[in-house]
Structure 1
Amino acid sequence: MIGLPSATRPTDLADVRVTNLALVLRHVRAHAPCSRADIAAATGLNKATVSSLVTDLIARRLLRESGLVGSRIGRPATMLTLEGMPYAAIGIEVGPDHLTAVAVDFAGGRLLTWRRAAPAPSAPAGRTVAAVAALAARAVGKVTGQGRTVLGLTLGTADAAHDGLGAQVNRSLHDPSFEVVVARAADLAALAEQREGSHAGSDDLVHLRGGAGVTAGIIAGGRPLRGARGLAGSIGHLTVDPDGPRCDCGRRGCLDLSLGLPALFRAALPTDETPADWGAGVERLVTLARTGDAIAVAALAAAGARLGDAVRALADVLDPSVVLLGGALTPLAPWLVPAATARLDDRHVVVAASTVEPHAVALGGAALALGRLEAGALP
């Protein structure tokens, strides 16, 4: 992120230029193809400054000229677009039963999408670290072998506190020139929604991520909302049923007890069925719901109602335009959304399935690295 200049010293002209370079870069990403005149009109920078900035960005291989477009007035304009080839950003989701790696170029083109089984939860922690490090090394090797520079590597985990995972992966990559970052999976998924999802560009959205529990990634006012300790969006213990069962936290009726996978499986699956893993359990639940199994449909409707209560609280506090269901909630959305929407009264918020799953977390990890570049951390 770009820091604000100190009030006790004059602004460095180099800082101003970096800020303006990032401004032009963001504009082209959002509006490409566009001309230098388009950029000047939209940003308020004069044409000479824009021309100098564009020349700099082309030299850095971040922009390229894509041809001429004629108009009824004046000479044809040279159009600009992002240059994807020289750079790559990598995101890896560290899930409970899988690892997913995604690499994208600066223009948003997908370079690789890999999914691997993760070590069993009962396996020693070192095995998970080794598996993540091996996947990261392969992904880095793949894109650098194409002649690209890696802008950053982001690891998405359930709580962003995975026992020094980032530092260990960094060491396994021999302290690379790019930054290795660990972030909450839900926060990264929200970034992916804002950048690539069906509501891309929305300044106010929530990504609700289902798994063992429920977490939220929040975009408010166009920016990620993480809180003072990075814990914003930890909504699994939001009370949605005051008369419900008691949670391990000591309260009653927490959202996790309605919408977390263990609770859903207990309510919807036959008592003699124990899913092999989360994925298998969700597939089984979807199959039962599609065939009209009364118990499964009723359990999902009840969970959807509690989801609606949670969305209603989010709408009152955050006023998002849309709440997107990700993770394990995405395939269950056809049964959850109607019941949730029915609980919203007159609150103007859309509840819908995510369109960036099943790669939302890894895509968001890549987007985080690209976002740092667009904030001024230029190569």
Structure 2
Amino acid sequence: MRPVSSGAVDFIDVRETNLAVVLRFIRREAPCSRAEVAAGTGLNKATISNIVAELITRGIVVEVGASEERRIGRPAVMLTLDGRRFTALGLEVNVDYLSAVMVDLAERDVLTWHEPVQAAELGAEGCVVRLADLARRAMGEMARQHREVLGITIAVPGLIGTSDGEVAEAPNLGWHEFPLVDRFREQLDDSSVALSLDNDANLGAVGEYRRGALAHTQNLVYLTGEVGVGGGVIINGALMRGSSGYGGEVGHITLMQDGPLCGCGRRGCFEALVGIGSIIQQAAPDLAGSTAQPLTDLAAKVAEVARRAEAGDPRTTAALVRVGEWLGRGSAILLNLFNPQALILGGYFVTLAPWIMPPARRTLAAHTIAPNLGGCQVALSTLGFTAAARGGASSIIDAIDTARLPLPRSGSAAHR
């Protein structure tokens, strides 16, 4: 995706930027009239008329009839986003699954797939093959519907640099300095589609911000609840990345000196205390297997932990109380640092919420400096295991809205 120029721009750049400005306004206010778009964007009516006509020709905006509002003169024709032609695809690879979410230009769901896979066993190259196959199947489905995929964003639980398309480190997958975007493009064998890569927690936060139960909360923190524990942080409506793109690695905050070994090689990390691997090891050690081997069948094992807790097994319930207390301690650090309006817990935290959330809330309250959690609402994700993939699809739409990815033109490949 091309960055927006920070220097002088030519006429085409101005035109594309204005198109994006108008599109962004229509997304936010639809259905709306041309006059409302002009008033809301500050562009003159002639410019708006030309831009809207172009957006309609490109299949991005559609007229939806006259306004029902009583007014003098001819009723205004209302505009909204046209979701019939173009889509965006988000993919996620995690320790035990692949996910795909396709949305249209209005971010309405078009396709949602979730497939169990043992990613660590497949290795990086094997995962790319499976991921590219998933993408081709999704794009094939779009082609059958006469739709075009404008871009793909891939979510990975690991350290992702800002622009090189490389996974610097993904300890729970066993990946190191892996050029994922290059390998994926080779497997996909399609040079036309825009590709990008980001951390799963970052994209999970984007998914929550754009489409979650607390959507459009301007300041929120999203915590993944996987083998790895990552944090995505939204500040004033924008994702916090850090200077090199490595921000949000909250799972590797040290909470216990000489504590349990973490996948990163250090001890006592937040992730090592509350990640799903640690939960299974503490609550149901008979399900954990050898510590030298990656955990498999996580969903089934977490379901069994929940079953034992529901049955009142003392070892299981005591372990989940301890996990909840560490979850509260680690989360309090985030509330003290960022003072978010919302803390959203995802992944397997949702499944185990009846047992981990009461101690987590108590400990969180005890360790947060601000009264009443600083006004923070603690909530469980409603997006399930699609949050990161959904955020990936939304990031493509956001790139179009902000002119970092060019708007599709009329006569696109999907309609030739």
1:215 to 230, 245, 250: 230
- The separation in 1 between residues aligned to 2:119 and 2:155, in whole angstroms, is 18
- The separation in 1 between residues aligned to 2:394 and 2:224, in whole angstroms, is 18
Aligned pair count? 376
- Deviations along 1:337-358, one digit per CA (max 9) or x if unpaired, are 3322222352221221111112
TM-score w.r.t. the length of structure 1 is 0.91
Matched residue type, 1:213: G
Secondary structure of 1:103's counterpart equals strand
CA-CA distance at 1:55 after TM superposition: 1.5
2:387 to 360, 369, 372: 360
Q: Please give the residue correspondences for 1:251-266 in structure 2 after superposition, counting only pairs within 5 Å.
A: 253-266=268-281
Sort the Cα spacing of 1:268 and 1:31 in 2 relative to 1 into closer, same or farther, 3 A: same
CA-CA distance at 1:248 after TM superposition: 7.2
CA-CA distance at 1:246 after TM superposition: 6.4
- Deviations along 1:167-193, one digit per CA (max 9) or x if unpaired, are 122112223311122221111111111
- The separation in 2 between residues aligned to 1:296 and 1:68, in whole angstroms, is 61
Larger CA deviation: 185-194 vs 284-293: 284-293
- The separation in 2 between residues aligned to 1:285 and 1:146, in whole angstroms, is 42
- Deviations along 1:200-230, one digit per CA (max 9) or x if unpaired, are 1122111101222211111112111111222
Gapped runs of 5+ residues in structure 1?
none
User: Aligned residue for 2:309?
Assistant: 289
- Deviations along 1:306-328, one digit per CA (max 9) or x if unpaired, are 22222221122222111111122
Matched, 1:378 2:380: no
Sort the Cα spacing of 1:36 and 1:338 in 2 relative to 1 into closer, same or farther, 3 A: farther
CA-CA distance at 1:23 after TM superposition: 1.6
CA contact (8 A) 2:133 2:188 kept: no
Q: Aligned residues: percent identity?
A: 39
- The separation in 2 between residues aligned to 1:256 and 1:71, in whole angstroms, is 54
Matched, 1:168 2:183: yes
- Deviations along 1:229-253, one digit per CA (max 9) or x if unpaired, are 2211111121334585565768664
Secondary structure of 1:193's counterpart equals helix
Secondary structure of 1:285's counterpart equals helix
RMSD value, Cα: 2.3
1:70 to 53, 64, 68: 68
Sort the Cα spacing of 1:251 and 1:138 in 2 relative to 1 into closer, same or farther, 3 A: closer
TM-score w.r.t. the length of structure 2 is 0.83
Sort the Cα spacing of 1:48 and 1:124 in 2 relative to 1 into closer, same or farther, 3 A: closer
Matched, 1:350 2:377: yes
User: Aligned residue for 1:180?
Assistant: 195
Sort the Cα spacing of 1:63 and 1:213 in 2 relative to 1 into closer, same or farther, 3 A: same
1:224 to 239, 246, 263: 239
Matched residue type, 2:156: T
Gapped runs of 5+ residues in structure 2?
161-166, 168-174, 290-294, 409-416
- The separation in 1 between residues aligned to 2:309 and 2:75, in whole angstroms, is 58
User: Aligned residue for 1:86?
Assistant: 85
User: Aligned residue for 2:155?
Assistant: 156
CA-CA distance at 1:2 after TM superposition: 4.7
Q: Please give the residue correspondences for 1:1-379 in structure 2 after superposition, counting only pairs within 5 Å.
A: 2-6=3-7, 9=8, 11-74=9-72, 75-119=74-118, 121-159=120-158, 160=160, 161=167, 163-242=178-257, 244-245=259-260, 253-269=268-284, 271=286, 274=289, 276-342=296-362, 343-344=364-365, 345=368, 346=371, 347=373, 348-376=375-403, 377-379=406-408
- The separation in 2 between residues aligned to 1:126 and 1:272, in whole angstroms, is 28
CA contact (8 A) 1:92 1:155 kept: yes
CA-CA distance at 1:15 after TM superposition: 2.5
Secondary structure of 2:15's counterpart equals helix
- The separation in 1 between residues aligned to 2:287 and 2:39, in whole angstroms, is 66
CA-CA distance at 1:360 after TM superposition: 1.0
**Which runs of at least 4 in structure 1 moved beyond 6 Å after TM superposition?**
248-251
Secondary structure of 1:81's counterpart equals strand
Sort the Cα spacing of 1:242 and 1:350 in 2 relative to 1 into closer, same or farther, 3 A: farther
Matched residue type, 2:107: G
Secondary structure of 2:223's counterpart equals strand
- The separation in 2 between residues aligned to 1:107 and 1:23, in whole angstroms, is 15
Judging by fraction of residues, say which structure has more helix: 2
- The separation in 1 between residues aligned to 2:189 and 2:121, in whole angstroms, is 28
Sort the Cα spacing of 1:336 and 1:51 in 2 relative to 1 into closer, same or farther, 3 A: farther
User: Aligned residue for 2:172?
Assistant: none
User: Aligned residue for 2:163?
Assistant: none
Matched residue type, 1:26: R
Larger CA deviation: 125-134 vs 314-323: 125-134
Larger CA deviation: 225-234 vs 42-51: 42-51
Secondary structure of 2:393's counterpart equals helix
- The separation in 1 between residues aligned to 2:6 and 2:252, in whole angstroms, is 40
- The separation in 2 between residues aligned to 1:248 and 1:124, in whole angstroms, is 16
Sort the Cα spacing of 1:250 and 1:111 in 2 relative to 1 into closer, same or farther, 3 A: closer
